[in-house]
Amino acid sequence: MLGKEHELDGVVVGPRNGDLIRWMTAQGIPYLPDSMEWPDKRRPWVGLYHALKVARWAKKHHVDLIHCNEHDVYPFAKLLRRFLRLPLVCHIRFKVERPFSEWCFGGKYGPDVLLWTSNQQKADSTSAITGIVPEERQHVVHLGIDLERFGKDATLGKLFRSRYQLTDNDILVGTASPLRPRKRVEDFIELIGRLAAVHPRVVGMIAGGEITGDELYRKRIEDAIHSTGLGSRLRWIGLLEPVEPFHHACDISVSTSEYETFGNSVCEAMACGKPVVGYQGGSVGEVVGDAGLIVPTGDLDKLTNAVQSLVINSELRLDMGEQARLRVAKEFSPSRSLQQLHAIYEDLISKSGQPQKSRSTDHQFLR
């Protein structure tokens, strides 16, 4: 949306329909549903068919550059580039391993640019990518939250608290996390149990959906919640959409994830002016900075002490929440990330030798 103001238009290929696709369609963003099949030597015609389909659609929209938004879609994007002969950017969304990097990014068909979501993620993947993609073709472009669209309406939190019968005296400690093992939701449950034993005003809440393939973990979490005997003082409320009211409702936001490449839910809580306490969790510490409290991953005692310091000090909660929102505005602004991307795109297009258009800055990119 910000790109439209800078003559940078995006057209999108995605694997399925859903709320996001309906929203993009309403905003006039061209969208093509496609399964984006990986190349397969046993059935090469399948991948070729889908790549040709997308290539024809991309040419119709006069695309100048391919932006692969998820690294696990890159094998298809690599095939697509053979038809389009355009610069290719790949955004890596997790910590990659050496075998995958060699298979996916090695050889003459590697990406023109690799994007990382955080400095910590890039550092953690150094051994996997060194010698495969040159350092000068790697960039860190943070994710971010548009504070003009998110985090401004505190009344959403009041309505949420009323819906769940929370009083002004209750201290809501929340975590927004899908139910998967690496999120260590069981640590959050233990945390709330410890806090509730000495602070009767503390209420814990988990917002996040079940993940396909992790049904046993969801059952484990439900059993753990039930075994605390806390009743309505500790609840899993499932997937929330939108999640903004939940963040506004919380007094303290907690992250128990053992690894994040960015920590978008943490950034969302900060955008709503909420203090964050969490494990280092890969890049969580990088996102929170000095606007929250970070402890070593897995150290439940230190996590409990850190959260407790905010439970008993309302002024510290407010001050840290204000600092959190200011940090998002300064460090994780979409307009700032757009400037980085625009410069990367312009550089790649100028080097590609594509014919100049009547408006040299008017580019279409395929995401």
- Could you report the per-residue pLDDT of 120-150, keeping only the tens digit for each? 999 999 999 999 999 999 999 998 899 999 9
- Per-residue model confidence as pLDDT tens digits over 342-359: 999 999 999 887 654 533
Kindly tell me if the per-residue pLDDT of 361 is higher than 50.
no
| Radius of gyration of the CA atoms of the chain, in A | 22
Give percent above pLDDT 90 in the chain.
Answer: 84
pLDDT of 262 reads 93
Amino acid at 41: K
**Residues of 102-120 as b/e, b for ≥16 C-beta within 10 angstroms?**
eebbeeeebbbbbbbbbeb
Structural domains for the chain: 3-144+333-366 (3.40.50), 155-331 (3.40.50.2000)
Helices (H), the chain: 19-26, 44-60, 74-84, 98-105, 119-124, 126-129, 155-163, 185-198, 215-228, 244-249, 264-271, 284-288, 300-311, 314-331, 334-352
What pLDDT score does 365 carry?
66
Contact indicator for 35, 53 with CB cutoff of 8 Å: no
> In 3D, which of 242, 244, 239, 240 has the Cα closest to residue 153?
244
Give per-residue pLDDT as tens, 168-206: 999 999 999 999 999 999 999 999 999 999 999 999 999
Q: Are 191 and 278 in contact (CB under 8 A)?
A: no
**pLDDT for res 284:** 97
Is residue 366 predicted with pLDDT exceeding 80? no
Per-residue confidence band for 363, with pLDDT thresholds at 50, 70 and 90: low
Digit-coded pLDDT (tens) for 96-128 = 999 999 999 998 889 999 999 999 999 999 999
Q: How far apart are CA 134 and CA 119, in angstroms?
A: 16
65-95 residue pLDDT tens: 999 999 989 999 999 999 999 999 999 998 9
Mean pLDDT of the chain: 93
Tokens coding 124: 């953690």
Gap between the Cα atoms of 294 and 307, Å rounded: 10
pLDDT tens-digit map of 202-257 = 999 999 999 999 999 999 999 999 999 999 999 999 999 899 999 999 999 999 99
pLDDT tens-digit map of 7-59? 888 999 988 777 888 888 898 999 999 999 998 889 999 999 999 999 999 99
| The predicted structure's pLDDT at residue 360 | 39
Query: Within 10 A of 338 (CB to CB), how many other CB atoms are there?
Result: 18
Q: What percent of the chain has pLDDT over 70?
A: 96
Per-residue pLDDT, 353? 74
Instruction: Map tokens 């060194």 to a residue.
Output: 130
- What average pLDDT does this structure show over 325-347? 94
Query: Can you give 276-332 as a three-state secondary structure string?
Result: EEEECCECHHHHHCCCCEEECCCCHHHHHHHHHHHHCCHHHHHHHHHHHHHHHHHHC
Cα 348 from Cα 305, distance rounded (Å): 49
| Residue among 30, 34, 71, 65 nearest 50 (CA) | 34
The more confidently predicted of residues 115 and 364 is 115
Cβ atoms of 291 and 323 within 8 Å: the answer is: yes
Closest CA to 365 of 14, 16, 89: 89
248: CB partners within 8 A, 6+ apart: 151, 153, 154, 156, 157, 158, 160, 272, 274
Query: Between 291 and 1, where is the model more confident?
Result: 291
Sign of CA dihedral 232, 236, 239, 240: positive
CA separation, residue 252 to residues 21, 159, 164 (Å): 32, 17, 17
Q: What is the pLDDT of residue 56?
A: 97
User: Whole-angstrom Cα distance, residue 73 to residue 262?
Assistant: 19
Of residues 193, 202, 228, the one with CA closest to residue 300 = 193
pLDDT confidence of 337, banded at 50, 70, 90?
very high
Coil, strand or helix at 237: strand
